[in-house]
Amino acid sequence: MNFDKELDARGLNCPLPILRTKKALTDMQSGQVLKVISTDPGSVKDLAAFAKQTGNELLSSEEKNKEFEFFVKRK
Amino acid sequence: MGEPSQLAVIDDLVRRRIDEILPARIEEKLKEIEDAKTPSLAIIATKGTLDWAYPPFILASTASALGWDVSVFFTFYGLNLVRKDVGDLKISPLGNPGMPMKMPFGPDWFKGINWNIPNVVQASIPGFENMATTLMKQTISNNGVASIDELRSACQEGDVKFIACQMTVDLFGFSHDDFIPGMDFAGAATFLPVAQQSSVCLFI
């Protein structure tokens, strides 16, 4: 999937993946896509909840090699 | 003679129709209002040790990341959390049976040992609390958990409102300069209405 910015949140635990995602999205323009990589299993549900609450669309959420990869579209 | 009874019939029909459609309409409208409201979180933070610093800052920063309106009222020992130097927060295992005492270094089998040191020993070793605090901070950073400083900055960037209890500030002899910039100083009467309006209010 195409993305405009990548956020490496590996090694960070709750709530840092969400806080960093929010910060990264703020600097982006509407419609751009942010790729987030995390090693925190809790981030799967957290990112889904974040997307639902803030209206930034979660385009995909996948597990790859014990890492979690998300694509979020800035609203 | 015809008119009053016609009015009565119309009245009755209208009343019955209203009774039929009103409950569903009211529920629809209430739900619309509820959904359009921005959720808000009010926290009253009363403790000042390292372990008690995490809940208010994590909840406040996360709620603010989710787009909520957040206000935190710091009172009593909670004031420790908004002093300029927050690196000074400590934790004590004394009389704290819930606190795990595991070493954050060494091989895995060593890290797994829970050192249950009796209170009477803890109390007689000077510097025990400082050591416990250092070990806890090491454990926290080993696990990629944010420091209090970072969480607090995230709150301030996210426009979380920090309010310090003026009464406690006076009580403990602090001055406004002891605290981070951007603090409001107010009392319970000012904060209670905020708490009342909030979606979620927590006492920590």
Within 8 A of B65 by CB-CB distance, chain A residues are: 15, 18-19, 21-22, 50, 54
Asked if residue A4 lies in contact with residue A32, where contact means CB atoms within 8 angstroms, the answer is yes
Q: Could you report the per-residue pLDDT of B42-72, keeping only the tens digit for each?
A: 999 999 999 999 999 999 999 999 999 999 9
Q: Which of B65, B143, B150 sits opposite A18 (nearest CB)?
A: B65
How many other C-beta atoms can be found within 10 angstroms of the C-beta atom of residue A50?
A: 25
Question: Which site among B38, B66, B140, B160 would you substitute to test the A interface, given the most A Cβ atoms closer than 10 Å to its Cβ?
Answer: B66
Percent of chain B past pLDDT 70, that is, above it, reads 99
How far apart CA B167 and CA B49 sit, in angstroms, is: 20
Q: Give me the pLDDT at residue B33, please.
A: 87
Chain A residues lying within 8 Å of B145, measured CB to CB: 13-14, 16
Is the per-residue pLDDT at B3 higher than 80? no
Instruction: Name the residue among B62, B67, B157 with its Cβ closest to that of A15.
Output: B62
Contact A12 B67 (CB under 8 A): no
A54 vs B85 pLDDT, higher one: A54
pLDDT in tens, B172-183: 999 999 999 999
pTM: 0.84
What average pLDDT score do residues B9-38 get? 91
Q: Summarize pLDDT for A19-70 with one digit per residue, the tens.
A: 999 999 999 999 999 999 999 999 999 999 999 999 999 999 999 988 999 9
For chain A, the domain total comes to: 1
Q: Is A36 exposed, middle or buried (0-12, 13-18, 19+ CB in 10 A)?
A: buried
pLDDT at residue B1 tops 70: no
Do A19 and B67 count as a contact with CB atoms less than 8 A apart? no
Q: Residue B110: pLDDT above 60? A: yes
Interface ipTM: 0.85
- Domain holding A28: CATH number? 3.30.110.40
CA distance B145 to chain A (A): 5
Instruction: Please judge whether A15 and B66 are an interchain contact, meaning their C-beta atoms are less than 8 angstroms apart.
Output: no
* Shortest CA distance from B157: residue in chain A: A23
Q: What pLDDT shows up at residue A4?
A: 93
Domain that holds residue A14: 5-73
Q: How far is A2 from chain B (nearest CA, A)?
A: 25
Q: What is the pLDDT of residue B2?
A: 58
SS3 letters for B16-79? HHHHHHHHHHHHHHHHHHHHHCCCEEEEEECCCCHHHHHHHHHHHHHHHHCCCEEEEEECHHHH
Give the pLDDT score at B154.
92
Q: What amino acid positions of A are annotated as catalytic residues? A: 14
